[in-house]
Amino acid sequence: MSLHDALQMAGERGLDLVAVSPTEVPPVCRFLDYGKYKYEQSKKEQKVKKSQRSTVLKEIRLRPKIDTHDLQAKANQARKFLQEGNKVRVVLRFRGREIIYPEMGWKVLRKFAEELEDVAAISGQPASERRTIFMTLSPGPGNKKAKEVKVNAKVENT
């Protein structure tokens, strides 16, 4: 069909002539309401963006001589971050002569990880760099909110 005839038919029907695949020979076109089409496409994109969750990396700072109650308070804060679906980076920093006893720092990190083992999984090995030890925790299998997000995404897709 010629372009002139197709445009005339679209005008009679009150629709637009949209090239679906202009690179084909001959080009494939459809009659449709272009405004409605663009609106539906933007709604689909918004739905896809809504279902995607960006993870944020939160940071918790510790010291090797931290007291048990303070460690539990930091663990509770990290638990909140993990339940929201964020990753948590735990940084233990040595000051002054504390660097002589790195085993104290490793012990504190181990205790911190044990405190959060029900909601977190250690992603990668803890690493030591100069006067700091880093450990990254990601939401683990016990995370209720992360499970709810996955279930909701499955329900929306069906």
Q: Are residues 63 and 131 in the same domain?
A: yes
Predicted confidence at residue 93, as pLDDT, reads 94
67 found inside a domain: yes
Q: Are residues 17 and 74 in the same domain?
A: no
Report the distance separating Cα 63 and Cα 31, nearest Å: 67
Domain count, the chain: 2
Predicted confidence at residue 111, as pLDDT, reads 92
Q: Please name the residues in contact with 114: beta carbons below 8 A apart, sequence gap of 6 or more.
A: none
Residues of the chain with pLDDT below 50 are 146-158
What CATH number is attached to the domain comprising 64?
Answer: 3.30.110.10
Predicted confidence at residue 77, as pLDDT, reads 94
Yes or no: say if 77 and 61 are a contact pair by the CB < 8 Å rule: no
Predicted confidence at residue 158, as pLDDT, reads 43
Predicted confidence at residue 67, as pLDDT, reads 93
Report the distance separating Cα 138 and Cα 145, nearest Å: 13
Q: Are residues 28 and 63 in the same domain?
A: no
What CATH number is attached to the domain comprising 14?
Answer: 3.10.20.80
Q: Which tens digits make up the pLDDT trace of 20-39?
A: 888 888 888 889 888 888 89
